[in-house]
Amino acid sequence: MTRYAIALSVLLCAGLVHASTLTTSYQREAQGDYTGARSALPSPDEVDATILGMRSGWLHYLDGDYDNAVRAYQAVIRYQPSIVEARLGLTLPLMAQAKWVDVLTQCDAILTAHPGEPTAGSRRAWALYNLGRFAESEAAYADLLVRYPTDVELRAGLGWAQCRQGDTPRAQATFATVLSLDETHASALEGAEVCR
C-alpha cells in the first residue's frame, strides 16, 4: 500500500474527511508536484483545519520551503498543543535548517507528555549529537536501544556519539555490530573508517 493510500485510509476511517476532498492533493504529492498538491487542498469548510495545517506543513517541507513548513506546524500546535504528530512534523523542517535547540525543545515537549515516544527519542538523540553534547547523545541512544535493540540507525548514532568522545574501542565494537546486521550500512562503514 502506498503512503498516499495509507494516509487517505486513516483519514477516511477516522471520519475526518470525504474521499474526494484530499484525493487530488495526495495524487499530486505522489507525482512530486508539491505546489500543485498544496493548491489542491480543500477549504477549511470541507476539511478539519488541523488536517489542513498538517498537510500544508508536510507539503511545504517536501518542497524545501522550511520557513512556511515551520509556520504551518506551529499554527497547528497553537490550536491543538497535544497533537504529537504536529510536533514531530515541526522537527523535520527544524532539522533541515539545523535548528538543533528548537528540535530538542520539541522533542522534550513530546517526551514529557509521552515518555518513551520512539521518534521523538531518536530525534532528540540526534539533536544532542549535533549540539556537540556527545555524552548525552550516547546516553539517549543507549536508552532507546534497550527497547529497540535491532535498530541499526540508533546503533550507528550510538557509535558516532562514542567516536566523538574519543572512545574508539567501544565505537568500533558498536559499528561492527551494525555491520553484522547490515554490512552495507553507509554511516557505520564511514564511522568504522573515521573512528580508528
| Percent with pLDDT over 90 in the chain | 82
> Mind listing the domains of the chain with CATH numbers?
1-120 (1.25.40.10), 132-196 (1.25.40.10)
Q: Which residues contact 67 (CB under 8 A, 6 or more apart)?
A: 93
This prediction has a pTM of 0.84
* Grid cell for residue 137: 547523545
> Residue 118: is its pLDDT beyond 60?
yes
Q: pLDDT for 62-81, tens place per residue?
A: 999 999 999 999 999 999 99
Residue with cell 565505537: 171
**Is 95 within 8 Å of 126 (Cβ atoms)?**
yes
> Residue 25: is its pLDDT beyond 60?
yes
Distance CA 164, CA 134 (A): 7
Return the pLDDT at 8.
44
* Grid cell for residue 21: 476532498
Of the candidates 53, 48, 29, 51, the one whose C-alpha atom is nearest the C-alpha of residue 40 is 29
Return the pLDDT at 3.
54
At 15 the three-state DSSP class reads coil
Instruction: Show the DSSP H helices in 114-151 as ranges.
Output: 118-130, 134-147
Distance CA 86, CA 49 (A): 13
* Grid cell for residue 36: 500543485
Q: Which residues contact 179 (CB under 8 A, 6 or more apart)?
A: 185, 188, 189, 192
Q: pLDDT for 122-165, tens place per residue?
A: 999 999 999 999 999 999 999 999 999 999 999 999 999 999 99
